[in-house]
Amino acid sequence: MSLTPARPQDLPGVDRLLHQPAVAALVAQHGHSLVADQARGLLDSLRRQALDGRLPAAAVQPDALADALAQRVAQRLAPRLQRVLNLTGTVIHTNLGRALLADSALQRLLALMTGPNNLEFDLAAGGRGDRDSVVEELLCTLTGAEAATVVNNNAAAVLLTIAALAGGGREVIVSRGELVEIGGAFRMPDVMAAAGARLVEVGTTNRTHPRDYAQAITERTALLMKVHTSNYAVQGFTAAVDEATLAGIAHARGLPLATDLGAGALVDLAQWGLPSEPLPQDKIAAGCDVVTFSGDKLLGGPQAGLVVGSRAAIDRIRRFPLKRALRVGQLTLAALEATLMLYLRPERLRQDLPTLRLLTRPAEAIRAQALALQPALAAALAPRYGVAVVALLGQIGSGSLPVERLPSAGLAVTPLQKPGAGRALDALAAALRGLPLPVIGRIHADQLLLDLRCLDDTAAFSAQLPTLQAALA
Ligand SMILES: *Cc1c(COP(=O)(O)O)cnc(C)c1O
Mean per-residue pLDDT for 326-343?
98
- At 210-249, the pLDDT tens digits run 999 999 999 999 999 999 988 888 889 999 999 999 999 9
- At 416-427, the pLDDT tens digits run 998 999 999 999
Mean per-residue pLDDT for 36-50?
98
- Best CA proximity match to 91, nearest among 350, 359, 296: 359
The Cα 448–Cα 425 span in angstroms is 7
* Residue minimizing CA distance to atom 7 of ligand 1: 154
Task: Give the architecture (CATH level 2) of 103-352.
Answer: 3-Layer(aba) Sandwich (3.40)
400 CA: nearest ligand 1 atom: 15
Mean per-residue pLDDT for 377-406?
89
- Best CA proximity match to 223, nearest among 143, 158, 153, 305: 158
CATH label, 85-94+359-472, candidates 2.60.40.10, 3.90.1150.110, 3.90.190.20, 3.40.630.30: 3.90.1150.110
Kindly indicate the confidence band of residue 1, based on its pLDDT and cuts at 50, 70 and 90. very low
Provide, rounded to the nearest whole percent, the portion of the chain with pLDDT above 70. 98
155 CA: nearest ligand 1 atom: 9
Mean per-residue pLDDT for 346-369?
97
Q: Matching CATH topology for 85-94+359-472 and 103-352?
A: no
Q: Is 247 in contact with 223 (CB distance < 8 Å)?
A: no
- At 278-306, the pLDDT tens digits run 999 999 999 999 999 999 999 999 999 99
305 CA: nearest ligand 1 atom: 7
Kindly indicate the confidence band of residue 36, based on its pLDDT and cuts at 50, 70 and 90. very high
Pick the range with the lowest mean pLDDT from 7-11, 182-186, 201-205, 397-401.
397-401
Q: Is 23 in contact with 39 (CB distance < 8 Å)?
A: yes
Residue 257 has pLDDT above 50, yes or no: yes
The set of protein residues with a Cβ atom below 6 angstroms from ligand 1 is 153-155, 158, 180, 182, 227-228, 230, 260, 262-263, 294, 305, 398-399
* Residue minimizing CA distance to atom 11 of ligand 1: 262
In 38-140, at which residue ranges do the beta strands (DSSP E only) sit?
85-86, 121-122, 127-128
- At 84-133, the pLDDT tens digits run 999 999 999 999 999 999 999 999 999 999 999 999 999 999 999 999 99
Q: Is 408 in contact with 451 (CB distance < 8 Å)?
A: yes
First vs last C-alpha separation in the chain: 25
Q: What is the pLDDT of residue 230?
A: 80
Higher per-residue pLDDT: 275 or 69: 69
Kindly indicate the confidence band of residue 399, based on its pLDDT and cuts at 50, 70 and 90. low
* Residue minimizing CA distance to atom 10 of ligand 1: 262
Kindly indicate the confidence band of residue 265, based on its pLDDT and cuts at 50, 70 and 90. very high
Domain map (residue ranges) of the chain: 8-77, 85-94+359-472, 103-352
Q: What is the pLDDT of residue 235?
A: 87
